[in-house]
Amino acid sequence: MNSIKETLSKSFDELRTNGKWLISFVVSPSTMLRRALSNVLLSAVEGHKANQLVQCLLNRMLSALIIAGGLALTLGGCTYVQTVPGGAYAPYPPSAFEQTWAAALGAMSDEGVQIVSANRDSGTIRGIRGAINVTAIVQTRADGGVQVEFKTGGDIDSDPSLNQRVVNDYNRRMGR
């Protein structure tokens, strides 16, 4: 019995020391665990047959401790981020150029002008309706403002008010 105490004491000393550092901890097993440990020790020392119930209990308790320790380590590093429904941040409003560009394209489409080309870099939109060519030129001024100019060409006598209707649709889309 004395050799078992020495062995356990030596094992705990090795467990408490990690190289040169002393790791302090307290072991206080439950009553059921103490009984199970004593039964196992008695069976090893006195030659008793190992109690299968005790060993099963010890295995289950060890499994539960390992799972609990794993969960504690895993959950300690978890982060949960929740976004606000509908978005917490509003998107940037379109630039003045983008707003003007979109309104010019829409105004031409509103009047049935088929867009032939649209070059955002040059600010030019070209379209056609019947025999009438319609062009919109969107430019950024030196003061940062944006201007748009609508021009019609071709057979403008077939629909003399087309240009004015495109301008009116543009103003409506711009909220004017």
Q: Which domains does the chain have, with CATH numbers?
A: 2-76 (no CATH), 96-173 (3.30.310.80)
Work out the mean pLDDT of the chain and round it to a whole number. Answer: 75
Reduced to 3 states (helix: H, G, I; strand: E, B; else coil), residue 82 is: coil
Per-residue pLDDT tens for 50-74?
Answer: 556 656 666 777 677 777 766 666 6
Indicate the DSSP class of residue 113.
Answer: P
Query: pLDDT for 136-146, tens place per residue?
Result: 999 999 998 99
Q: For residue 139, what are the contacts with CB-CB under 8 A and spacing of at least 6? A: 123, 146, 147, 148, 149
pLDDT bucket at 25, cuts 50 / 70 / 90: very low
pLDDT the model gives residue 16: 47
Average pLDDT over residues 88-108: 84
Instruction: Name, in order, each residue with C-beta under 8 angstroms of 76's C-beta and a sequence gap of 6 or more.
Output: none
